Amino acid sequence: MVVRIGFLSIAHLHAHSYGRAINGLTGCRLVGIYDPDQERGMQGAKEMGTEYFADPAELLSQTDAVIICSENSRHREFTELAAKHGCHVLCEKPIATTLEDARAMIDACARAGVKLQIAFPVRFVTPVLRVKEMLDSGAVGKVLAIVGTNQGQMPGGWFADPELAGGGAVMDHTVHVVDLIRWFLGKEFVSVYAEVDNMLWDTGIDDCGMLSMELEDGTIVTQDPSWSRPMTFPTWGNVTMRIIGTQGMIDLDAFAQNFVVYDDAHRKVSERSFAEDMDLGLIQDFIQMIVEDREPTITGYDGLKALEVALAAYRSAQEKKPVALG
């Protein structure tokens, strides 16, 4: 079986990485790209060696599945369109900008009998997989507390437009760590207290914050989701955790695969990353899900619960008090 895949928008930064993954794998084929921004879509199609479609319906009639890399506010629109045409969906995170839209996306795919997977590629990095195995085996006993970060570079563009993105750094980066913790421990978040601000970049949208959270079993979690990494940072950002249990502690740095380059010719010192391709792991899993006709590894519900925490953080910062979930 060759899985035919198309893109509905390539506005998101990860789209080209997903395209490279598809083109490098057997068992799938990149049919084409639709993007409401014709210039962006045509340029992307040229770079990925595929076709640009001016009509999304024409593309969807020739695909088994789509990857949605649009602005966050358009995820519902494109997911419902894909479901209407019977196409499975891999949707970039966050699942949506409102819980209403997230629920509508889940319902649309369920009614159409198609699968909805959310793009949380950090689950497929080897250090993260090893931590999951350690926690499942009880290596640190009962987990008591987690200190996490998902600090990134300032992405610019529509990511700094609250109408299109639904928020800034807190919306962009809270969801990664929240998803990992839910997956690691199988527990839900029950409360959030957040401090959110614009202090690093002249954008008018939140670029830094600190979240204090609690899980249903009493585990406490803090997270820094700020856009605080410099443009010279060797990767797009980081995902780190210190997981403290009754019998030990785990330190996780998901992308700590860098080396230092001393360049005398240009009198420059830089870091280069050789981190594994987490996007490739995500795309492989998505294709296997379709071929094996199984449930998604990362479901629409997973996306909904991660979004719920991010939205609660904004509400907490506005009301200056903890917000209960559920």
Per residue in 279-315, pLDDT (tens digit) is: 999 999 999 999 999 999 999 999 999 999 999 999 9
Q: Is the dihedral of CA 140, 146, 152, 156 positive or negative?
A: positive
C-beta atoms surrounding 20 within 10 Å: 17
User: How many residues make up the chain in this entry?
Assistant: 326
User: Mean of the pLDDT values across residues 1-23?
Assistant: 97
Q: How far apart are CA 129 and CA 282, in angstroms?
A: 13
Q: How far apart are CA 275 and CA 262, in angstroms?
A: 19
Query: Quick one: pLDDT at residue 144?
Result: 98
In whole angstroms, how far apart are CA 19 and each of 12, 14, 28, 69, 109? 12, 9, 11, 11, 23
Phi, psi at 31, each rounded to 5°: -75, -40
Contact partners, residue 321, CB within 8 Å, separation at least 6: 193
- State the average pLDDT for the chain: 96
User: Mean of the pLDDT values across residues 51-75?
Assistant: 98
Q: Is the pLDDT of residue 273 over 80?
A: no
Q: How confident is the model at residue 102 (pLDDT cuts 50, 70, 90)?
A: very high
Q: Could you report the per-residue pLDDT of 216-259, keeping only the tens digit for each?
A: 999 999 999 999 999 888 888 999 999 999 999 999 999 988 88
Q: How confident is the model at residue 272 (pLDDT cuts 50, 70, 90)?
A: confident
Q: How far apart are CA 77 and CA 47, in angstroms?
A: 26
Query: Quick one: pLDDT at residue 269?
Result: 83
**Count of H helices and E strands in the chain?**
10, 15
Query: Quick one: pLDDT at residue 236?
Result: 86
Query: Quick one: pLDDT at residue 6?
Result: 98
Q: Is the pLDDT of residue 53 over 90?
A: yes
Q: How confident is the model at residue 111 (pLDDT cuts 50, 70, 90)?
A: very high
Q: Is the pLDDT of residue 275 over 80?
A: no
Q: Is the pLDDT of residue 267 over 80?
A: yes
**Cβ-contact 94, 164 below 8 angstroms:** no
Q: Which long-range contacts (CB under 8 A, 24 or more apart) does 205-212 make?
A: 205/160, 205/161, 205/162, 205/165, 205/167, 205/168, 206/167, 206/168, 206/169, 206/170, 207/154, 207/168, 207/169, 208/169, 209/169, 209/170, 209/313, 209/317, 211/170, 211/174, 211/309, 211/313
DSSP annotation of 199 reads -
Q: How confident is the model at residue 104 (pLDDT cuts 50, 70, 90)?
A: very high
Query: Quick one: pLDDT at residue 1?
Result: 87
Q: How far apart are CA 317 and CA 214, in angstroms?
A: 16
Q: How far apart are CA 104 and CA 96, in angstroms?
A: 10
Query: Quick one: pLDDT at residue 77?
Result: 98
**Cβ-contact 93, 175 below 8 angstroms:** yes
Reduce the DSSP state of residue 249 to 3 states and report it.
strand
C-beta atoms surrounding 5 within 10 Å: 27
Looking at the chain, list the stretches that DSSP marks H as alpha helix, in order from N- to C-terminal side.
15-24, 38-48, 56-60, 75-84, 99-112, 126-136, 162-165, 169-185, 278-292, 300-319
Q: Is the pLDDT of residue 99 over 80?
A: yes
| pTM score | 0.95
Q: Is the dihedral of CA 73, 280, 236, 255 positive or negative?
A: positive
Domains defined for the chain, CATH in brackets? 3-119 (3.40.50.720), 123-276+307-324 (3.30.360.10)
